[in-house]
Structure 1
Amino acid sequence: MTPPQKPDPKVAAEFTSYYLQRATTEFAEDLDKVRAADDFKNDALQILVSALQQGTAMFSPEEQRRIVTAAARPATKP
């Protein structure tokens, strides 16, 4: 059994960026509703971003590398 791979800071940063982009795209309508709420304050934006970033912890360094590598490949046409 191989020991777990340590995260590569560059891959982790690229994955976090990719993950946040996908999350905000997928949840755009919900995020707009949250931001439009009467009780949403400007300082809550950082809390919201932090909460979304915590989702990256579900992915191992190997999964993050695989996803970043796949996302960097150009799409092929059938």
Structure 2
Amino acid sequence: MAPPQKSDQQVAAEFTSYYLQRATKEFAEDLDKVRSADDFKNDALQIIVSALQQGTTMFSPEEQRRIVTAAARPANKA
């Protein structure tokens, strides 16, 4: 029996979380440099998160669903 279909909102939320995890991992060094800059203020953190979240708009709802579904699958063992 197949699991119930997730709503578009659920998929979008899961995709955003997945995307942010991947982006922060990929840009970890750069983000650390920004955070350690002398002129960095804590309120800038929300701006950075918002900027990273905007990257999710590059993906259609169908692509987001495909990525979320693929990310949820356990890795195949050969």
TM-score (norm 2): 0.90
Gaps of 5+ in 2: 1-6
Q: Distance in 2 between matches of 1:70 and 1:60?
A: 15
Corresponding residue of 1:60: 60
Gaps of 5+ in 1: 1-6
Corresponding residue of 2:20: 20
Large movers: runs of 4+ above 4 Å: none
Q: Distance in 1 between matches of 2:11 and 2:40?
A: 32
Shift of 1:77: 1.6
**Cα RMSD for the two superposed structures:** 1.0
Corresponding residue of 1:4: none
SS of structure 2 residue aligned to 1:10:
helix
Deviations 1:6-42 (A, max 9, x none): x810000000000000000011001000100011100
Deviations 1:40-77 (A, max 9, x none): 10000000000000000000000000000000000012
Corresponding residue of 2:77: 77
Q: Distance in 2 between matches of 1:32 and 1:75?
A: 30
Q: Distance in 2 between matches of 1:15 and 1:25?
A: 15
Corresponding residue of 2:39: 39
Q: Distance in 2 between matches of 1:31 and 1:47?
A: 12
Q: Distance in 2 between matches of 1:46 and 1:76?
A: 37
Q: Distance in 1 between matches of 2:75 and 2:26?
A: 20
Q: Distance in 1 between matches of 2:59 and 2:26?
A: 18
